[in-house]
Amino acid sequence: MNNETQQAKPPARRFNWLIHFFGWGSLLTFPFLFTGREPEATVTLERYMGFVIVLGSYVAAFYANYLYLVRKYLFTRQPVRYLLTNVLLFAVLTLAVHFLLEMFFSVTEGRPFSRPTPGVWVIVRFFIIEILIYSFVITISIAYKMTQSWYIAQAERKELERSRSEAELKNLKSQLNPHFLFNTLNNIYSLIDISPAKAQEVVHELSRLLRYVLYDSTQPVVTIGRDMDFIRNYVELMRIRLPGHVSVRTLLTYSSPDIPVAPLLFIALVENAFKHGVSNGRPSFILIEINASGGAIDCRICNSCFPKSESDKSGSGIGLSNLRRRLDLLYPGAYTFTCGREGDEYRCELKLRPVGLPGPVMHEPVAPGDSGTTSR
C-alpha cells in the first residue's frame, strides 16, 4: 500500500475503537434507565457491581471472538472447532461470574454469601437466558468482524487495482516515448539529404519536444496549454519535409490554458494523420482541431486517406490501441472515441467530458494568441 493508505489507517483504527468505547459505555448506563421508587428497583452499589461483573463476561466473550476466534476458526472454515471453543468459553465465563459474585457479596456483606438453592426450572431458565444472550453477543461479534474484514478487503482491492493501473499506464508511456521518437527520427533522417542545415534546426526543435515527452509527460496530468504547444511544435516539425501539394491546417483553442488533461493523448491521432494522410504525388490534406472549454476537450482530426502497405513498419502500429487502453484507464465512462474511413477521408473524433483527475502540474501558460489556423 502507498503512504496515503498507511497514513489513513491510524485515524480509522482510532474511530473503530471509539465506537467500541461508546457502545460498551452506553450499556453501563442501562441500570440507571430503569430505576424506580420501589426498593427492588433502586440501583445500589451491590446491584450495580453485580451488573458490571455479568456485563464483563459478555465483553470478554465479544472480544475473544472479535480479536481471535472468528479469524482463527471461522475465517479458516473450522466451524466445529469454533462452536466447541465457544461452548468451553461459555462454561468458563459462567463459572467465573458465579465465583466473582460469590466473592464480591461475601466481602460487601462481611460474611459468606448464601442464598437458597434454586429449583430445577429456575436453573434451566437461567441457562437458557444466558445462552441466548451469549449467542446474541457472539452473533454481533461475528457480524462486526466480517463487516470490518469486508471493508478492509475492499480497500485493499481498490489499492491493488490502482497500483496495477499505474503500472500499466507507465508501461504504455514507455511504449509511447520510443514510438514518438521513432517517427520523428525518420523525418530527420530524410531531411539530412535535402538540407543538412535544416536538419540541424530540426534536431534543436526535437530536443524541445523530447523535453516534454521525457519530463512533463511523466506527470499524471499537464495543462492543456502545454499539451497543445507540444502538438503545435510537432506539426511544425512534420511540416518541414512535406511537399507543396499537402495542406496542413491546425486550430487549437482553449478557454483556459490551465485545464488539466492526461499528457500525450492526442499525439497518436496526429501521428496517424501524417502517416496515412500524405501522398508524395497526389493532393493531400490534414485538418487538426482541438478545443478545450469548461473542462471538456473535443479533438477532431480529418485527413486524406492513403493507407500504408503491410511492409511499412513506420510507427510500429501501436498508437491507436495504446490510446484506447489509456483512455479506458484514465477516463472510464467519460470519453467517446470514434475513428474510421469515410470515402476518401479518414476521420477521428475524441471527446473528453469533465472528470475528476489529479491536480495538474502547473506550467507557464501558453499564450492563447499562439493558437490559430495555419495552412500550407
User: What pLDDT is attached to residue 278?
Assistant: 86
Contact, 129 vs 140, CB < 8 A?
A: no
More confident of the two residues 326 and 261? 261
Domains recognised in the chain with CATH numbers: 3-159 (no CATH), 172-370 (3.30.565.10)
CA neighbor of 249 nearest in space, from 278, 290, 287 = 287
User: What pLDDT is attached to residue 315?
Assistant: 45
Give the pLDDT mean for 264-272.
86
User: Quick one: pLDDT band at residue 3, thresholds 50, 70, 90?
Assistant: very low
Residues 247-261 have pLDDT tens digits of 999 999 999 888 998
Quick one: angle between helices 120-194 and 319-330, nearest 10?
150
More confident of the two residues 130 and 369? 130
**pLDDT for residue 324 is more than 70:** yes
Helical residues (DSSP H) of the chain, grouped into ranges: 3-28, 30-33, 45-64, 79-109, 120-194, 196-214, 224-239, 267-276, 319-330
**pLDDT for residue 95 is more than 50:** yes
User: What pLDDT is attached to residue 41?
Assistant: 54
User: What pLDDT is attached to residue 352?
Assistant: 92
CA neighbor of 358 nearest in space, from 222, 160, 156, 173 = 222
Q: What does pTM read for this prediction? A: 0.51
**pLDDT for residue 239 is more than 90:** no
Give the pLDDT mean for 132-149.
87
User: What pLDDT is attached to residue 9?
Assistant: 54
User: What pLDDT is attached to residue 118?
Assistant: 60
Tell me the average pLDDT of the chain.
Answer: 76
| Highest mean pLDDT pick, 29-38, 119-128, 187-196, 244-253 | 244-253
